[in-house]
Structures are given as structure tokens and as C-alpha cells.
């Protein structure tokens, strides 16, 4: 699947978070949505990104936006990750990778000469009508969240 382009309507989905609560994207019409896809809980880059979003939640909420982290990790792994770092936003479990595929972030990756399928770190910013207004591909974690908060909401 291809990445969703700016100007396109975001594909709808329903996923459960670390507490077993279902989140349907359509329920967030009227709010800006930051939807960030990340490879794996408890890894250095993913931990930094999650903590950066968490530290910026007050600013994000003040701009009438909500943030969701999405990975293939289970609800249980998300719960441990969320509890360990006191995260205050939903981490959505896409264990089937169907949502990752819809958003074009489930791709072949290479590491140490080996190929495998995985999530390419990508962030989508959706407007109040759930239309993609920004997309960040192959995200570098350093200063990513600060840039979004200062320039995209």
C-alpha cells in the first residue's frame, strides 16, 4: 500500500489502546489528530518519541489536538510501556498490521543485510475533517515533536 498523501482523507479504523479502550478515528472529527506510527515499544528511538509527545501534551491539547501512537505491539506490551514512562495518551495496538498497511507504513526494511517487514516511522497530521495536512516520512526522532507542535497545529 502507498502512503496517504496530503489532501487525502485518512482511512478510518478502530483499534484498542493499552487499557483495552476502543478508539474509532471517526469519533475524533472536529479535532486535529496526530497519528504517529512507530516500530516497537521499549526501544530507544520509540521511547524518546513517546516521551517527547507526552511532554508536549499540554501544548498539543491547547491547540485542540489529540495524539495516538500506533504499532504492532500488543495491548499488554503497550500497557507496560505506557506505565513505565507514565504516558498519558493512547497507544493503539495494530497487531494484525491492517491499519499500518492502509497508511502505507508497513514496508520491507533492511538491517545488517537482512530484509524483513516492519513499520517505517511515519507521522500524519490530520485536520478537523480527518484530512491529511502533513506527513512526515522516515522520521528522525530528535526535535520531531517540537517541530510538529511549533509548526503544524
Q: 66-79, pLDDT tens digit by residue?
A: 999 999 999 999 99
Among 98, 105, 93, 92, which Cα is nearest to 138's?
A: 105
* Backbone torsion region of residue 39, taken as left when φ is above 0, otherwise alpha when ψ lies between -120 and 50, otherwise beta: alpha
Residue 36 C-alpha cell reads as 504517529
Q: What is the CATH classification number for the domain harbouring 73? A: 3.40.30.10
Three-state DSSP state, 76: helix
Given the residues 46, 51, 100, 152, the one annotated as active site: 46
Q: What is the DSSP letter of 46?
A: H
pLDDT tens digits for range 82-131: 999 999 999 999 999 999 999 999 998 888 888 989 999 999 999 999 99
Host domain of residue 121: 14-23+36-147
53 in a structural domain: yes
152 in a structural domain: no
pLDDT of residue 137: 93
> Has 46 been annotated as catalytic?
yes
52 in a structural domain: yes
Residue 49 C-alpha cell reads as 518519541
Amino acid at each position: 500500500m502507498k502512503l496517504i498523501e496530503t489532501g487525502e482523507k485518512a482511512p478510518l479504523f478502530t483499534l484498542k489502546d493499552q487499557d483495552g479502550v476502543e478508539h474509532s478515528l471517526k469519533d475524533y472529527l472536529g479535532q486535529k489528530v496526530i497519528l504517529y506510527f512507530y516500530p516497537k515499544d521499549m526501544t530507544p528511538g520509540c521511547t524518546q518519541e513517546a516521551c517527547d509527545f507526552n511532554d508536549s501534551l499540554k501544548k498539543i491539547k491547547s491547540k485542540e489536538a489529540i495524539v495516538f501512537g500506533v504499532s504492532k505491539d500488543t495491548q499488554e506490551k503497550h500497557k507496560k510501556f505506557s506505565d513505565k514512562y507514565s504516558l498519558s495518551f493512547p497507544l493503539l495496538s495494530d497487531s494484525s498490521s491492517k491499519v499500518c498497511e492502509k497508511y502505507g507504513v508497513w514496508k520491507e526494511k533492511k538491517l545488517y543485510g537482512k530484509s524483513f517487514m516492519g513499520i517505517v516511522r511515519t507521522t500524519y497530521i490530520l485536520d478537523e475533517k480527518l484530512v491529511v495536512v502533513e506527513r512526515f516520512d522516515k522520521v528522525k526522532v530528535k526535535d520531531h515533536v517540537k517541530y510538529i507542535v511549533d509548526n503544524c497545529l
